[in-house]
């Protein structure tokens, strides 16, 4: 007897470690609220030279992964069949059939000029045809003209504390610089050179580099649990992104009790708004001053205020949003007794 078709197919490119973890987390959240889920993953995608070709190669791989999942389920097909969630706009660009789109940013924002000649046009059609737009942040669609902006349900990547509060904070500052250009390693190092006092240390995660710099330690690439353990030991998390579409590491830092010192940046970047609410002095184009202020100011209530602001990002809140606002739109009869 053939197995029953799943409720949802989650289509994942997983081009970055962040997206891989987010996609798995979304599938787990859907399952936690009662949906049956199949992951359709592209596997490794070849690296190519241009943004236009990169998006084409990734979108084609996502189409093949989605179609394979649909083909595998034909023996158990039921009308209208499983719902599909495409993880990112890129994954939806060449879709074999419409589905929900879970997005952090639009091509019209991160593929300007000739970089997004075909993606921006197709994106508008996909957004219009999708039954549910799942935006990671409330501002993710703000770059669209109001007349072309579809309604969206805010479904962030879930962010929870990784351990018990109250541990020893024996690291002064942590930053994640896995992509040193996008994370502006040069800006962080220059700022730290001005902000640092004797005996203080900046730990840089995500990058291996030889050579000694005063007060700087490169931790190299870290497993997620090891990175979160580092955050639980840090007093301050520093960030200077060129742009931040969602930015899970600053949110994780807040969840683990760090103070967030950051430069302003374009993109949805929800942690930026939280940082301004928590302490506007820690958001500045002068990152050195923001870091020094974060290290020198006594504010014992900061972690508790951060935890309150992060409530919509907790796993239980994301699950409730999926159960109440997403699945009823994707699956006729969902939640009806």
Query: Is the separation of the CB atoms in 289 and 267 below 8 Å?
Result: no
- The DSSP element (H or E) to which 176 belongs, if any, is strand 171-176
Which DSSP category does 326 fall into? Answer: I
For the chain, 337 residues long, the average pLDDT of each consecutive 10-residue run is 75 88 95 96 93 96 95 64 94 96 94 93 96 94 89 96 89 96 97 97 93 90 95 98 95 98 96 98 98 96 97 97 95 74
CA atoms within 13 A on the CB side of 178: 11
pLDDT at 1: 34
Sequence-distant (≥ 6) Cβ neighbours of residue 170 within 8 angstroms: 233
Region of residue 106 (left: phi > 0; alpha: psi -120 to 50; beta: else): beta
Instruction: Collect all residues with Cβ–Cβ distance below 8 Å to 246 and sequence separation of at least 6.
Output: 18, 104, 105, 136, 137, 156, 157, 268, 269, 270
Burial letters 264-291, b for 16+ CB under 10 A, else e? ebebbbbbbebbeebbeebbbeebbbbb
Any residues with CB less than 8 A from the CB of 305 and at least 6 apart, and which?
277, 278
pLDDT in tens, 15-55: 888 889 999 999 999 999 999 999 999 999 999 999 999 99
pLDDT at 79: 54
């Amino acid at each position: 007897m053939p197995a029953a078709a799943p409720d949802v197919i989650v289509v994942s490119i997983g081009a970055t470690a962040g997206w891989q973890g987010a996609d798995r987390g979304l599938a787990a959240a859907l399952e936690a609220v009662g949906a049956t889920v199949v992951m359709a993953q592209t596997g490794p995608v070849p690296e190519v030279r241009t943004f236009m070709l990169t998006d084409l190669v990734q979108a084609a791989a996502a189409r093949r992964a989605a179609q394979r999942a649909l083909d595998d389920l034909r023996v158990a097909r039921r009308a209208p069949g499983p719902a599909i969630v495409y993880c990112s706009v890129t994954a939806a660009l060449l879709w074999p059939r419409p589905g929900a789109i879970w997005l952090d940013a639009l091509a019209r924002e991160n593929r300007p000029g000739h970089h997004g000649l075909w993606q921006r046009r197709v994106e508008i059609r996909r957004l219009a045809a999708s039954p549910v737009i799942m935006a990671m942040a409330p501002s993710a669609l703000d770059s669209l003209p109001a007349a072309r902006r579809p309604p969206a349900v805010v479904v962030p990547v879930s962010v929870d504390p990784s351990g018990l509060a109250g541990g020893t904070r024996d690291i002064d500052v942590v930053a994640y610089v896995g992509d040193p250009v996008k994370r502006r390693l040069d800006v962080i190092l220059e700022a730290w050179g001005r902000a640092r006092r004797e005996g203080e240390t900046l730990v840089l995660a995500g990058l291996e580099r030889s050579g000694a710099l005063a007060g700087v330690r490169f931790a190299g690439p870290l497993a997620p649990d090891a990175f979160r353990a580092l955050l639980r030991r840090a007093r301050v998390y520093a960030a200077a992104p060129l742009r931040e579409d969602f930015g899970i590491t600053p949110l994780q830092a807040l969840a683990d009790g760090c103070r967030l010192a950051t430069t302003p940046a374009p993109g949805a970047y929800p942690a930026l708004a939280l940082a301004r609410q928590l302490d506007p002095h820690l958001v500045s184009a002068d990152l050195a001053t923001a870091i020094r202020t974060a290290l020198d100011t006594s504010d014992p209530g900061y972690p508790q205020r951060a935890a309150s602001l992060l409530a919509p990002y907790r796993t239980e809140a994301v699950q409730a949003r999926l159960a109440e606002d997403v699945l009823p739109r994707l699956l006729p009869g969902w939640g009806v007794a």
